[in-house]
């Protein structure tokens, strides 16, 4: 399955992970934007999304809260992180 690196995010209605509505990502040949539902589905089906480069690279995984829609959040070394919220916004 393909891998992408998320490079920027778009938020609406708040500042938390659940407010990210779109992800800008890059792979070896292109940069594109994908809405949250499509990106969550892609990762759920085996796609790999990353944030950062080299030793700072962490995986973005799907969080499925008891209430609300699923969203992506970074996870490394057994801990959930805020790497997506640290990315530039558009």
70-86 pLDDT, tens digit each: 999 999 888 999 999 99
Cα–Cα separations (whole angstroms), residue 11 to 52, 88, 89: 19, 11, 8
pLDDT band (50, 70, 90) for residue 49: very high
pLDDT surpassing 90 at residue 1: no
| DSSP letter (8 states) at residue 11 | E
pLDDT surpassing 80 at residue 59: yes
- Percent of the chain at pLDDT above 70? 99
Q: What is the reported pLDDT for 76?
A: 87
Q: Name the residue range of residue 38's domain.
A: 3-86
Q: What is the reported pLDDT for 71?
A: 98
Q: What is the reported pLDDT for 62?
A: 98
CA dist 59 and 12 (Å) reads 23
| DSSP letter (8 states) at residue 64 | -
Main-chain dihedrals φ then ψ at residue 2, nearest 5 degrees: -70, 160
Number of domains within the chain: 1
Structure token pair of residue 54:
């080299």
């Amino acid at each position: 399955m393909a891998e992408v690196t998320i490079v920027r995010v778009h938020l609406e209605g708040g500042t938390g992970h659940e407010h990210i509505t779109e992800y800008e990502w890059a792979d070896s040949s292109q940069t594109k934007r994908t809405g949250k539902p499509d990106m969550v589905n892609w990762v759920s089906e085996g796609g790999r999304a990353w944030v950062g480069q080299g030793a700072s690279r962490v995986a973005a995984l799907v969080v499925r809260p008891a209430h609300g829609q699923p969203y992506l959040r970074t996870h490394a070394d057994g801990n959930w992180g805020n790497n997506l919220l640290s990315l530039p916004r558009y």
